[in-house]
Amino acid sequence: MKQNEILEDGHGRRFYYLRLSVTDVCNFRCGYCLPDGYQATPKGPDLSVAEAATVTRAFAQLGTRKVRLTGGEPSLRKDLPELIHNAKTTPGIRRVAVTSNGYKLPSVIDSWHHNGLDQLNISIDSLDDREFAEITGHDCLPKIRTGIDRALELGVQTKVNAVLLSDGAQARLHQFLNWLKTTPVTLRFIELMQTGDNRNYFASNHLRGSDIEQQLIETGWQLLPRALDAGPAREYVHPDYAGRIGLITPYSKDFCNSCNRLRISAQGKLHLCLFSDTGLDLRETIRNGDADTLAAKVRALIGNKEVSHYLQQGNTGGTQNLSIIGG
């Protein structure tokens, strides 16, 4: 197979970005995802280091430039530094990112950076210590912010993910804007998405990201061009702020038109969409270590990718919660 031949679906979308889940386990209890904590279910073992390397090599053949290691909470794997290193040293991969809740960040960020981490995304839904503890079930925001400060010292591009929740949204926005005055991170507001487990929570807490976006535009924030391997956020800058703001608005018109990413679950299933009805099991091919065959199978399956996630119609597919395949 030709190296770096860009993967394209039947709707003309090209895929430069792989989200590779390394575990579905999470130690937080966020109300919109795992309010009762992680519940173990019968499943196969998570991808091994060697299996994750096979996946990365296959996707690199298909033109993937960026790999994000996600979960669950990926820092719960002690071998995460090795996973980062293997992804970073794969020919064709230009950027390696990790999405984390930051619980272990101060003690692990130096190792992640040493092994090649380019970008870090940390989930912080509120800058108020008390409210953060209520949302996540952990009173550890100061520790997480210390870890973010260290990541910035090391030169790791750092983004902070905040799920938009209707109650108290304006107060949280004000806190975040004050923080961004002097903190060079990209804050990404993510519109709350309905999943199989959070229907009632979604109905009570959903806030459209377009409402926040209009406020930003009216106060001088300017939209930036989007990179080929960027995530789904529209990013804004303002001359008076050290940080940036991104918005991920999956309920907006034509959101799926710019999709450039595919997902592999921690059990080796290809998810063509976050809200696919089911994953396509590739574990046997992954286990055999044959990156060429795996790449060929992914190319053959990409034609099954739907034009939309159909969230607007209330479709949640097989996604019971976002920790299953890394949101």
Domain membership of residue 327 (yes or no) is: no
Total tally of structural domains belonging to the chain? 1
Segment 299-317 mean pLDDT: 79
323 contacts: CB under 8 Å, gap ≥ 6: 24, 25, 26, 33, 34, 38, 71, 72, 73
Q: Count Cα neighbours of 296 within 13 Å in the Cβ-side half-sphere.
A: 6
pLDDT recorded at residue 1: 42
Domain membership of residue 224 (yes or no) is: yes
Segment 68-74 mean pLDDT: 96
How far apart (Å, rounded) are the C-alpha atoms in residues 159 and 171?
20
pLDDT recorded at residue 320: 66
- For residue range 211-230, what is the model confidence (pLDDT) as tens digits? 899 999 999 999 999 888 77
Domain membership of residue 170 (yes or no) is: yes
Q: Determine the 3-state secondary structure of 262 from DSSP.
A: strand
Q: Determine the structural domain holding residue 289 and report its residue range.
A: 7-313
Domain membership of residue 248 (yes or no) is: yes
Residue 197 amino acid letter:
D
pLDDT recorded at residue 32: 85
Q: Which one, of 115, 118, 188, lies nearest residue 151 by Cα? A: 118
Residue located via tokens 């692990």: 108
Q: Determine the 3-state secondary structure of 6 from DSSP.
A: coil
Segment 283-287 mean pLDDT: 97
Domain membership of residue 297 (yes or no) is: yes
Global pTM reads 0.92
207, 165 contact by CB (below 8 A): yes
Q: Can you count the helices (H) and strands (E) in the chain?
A: 10, 14
Domain membership of residue 232 (yes or no) is: yes
Domain membership of residue 324 (yes or no) is: no
The CATH number that applies at residue 137 is: 3.20.20.70
Domain membership of residue 326 (yes or no) is: no
Mean pLDDT of the chain: 91
pLDDT recorded at residue 308: 80
Whether 127 shows a pLDDT value over 70: the answer reads yes
Q: Which one, of 93, 98, 48, 47, lies nearest residue 68 by Cα? A: 98
Q: Which residue has the higher pLDDT, 104 or 5?
A: 104
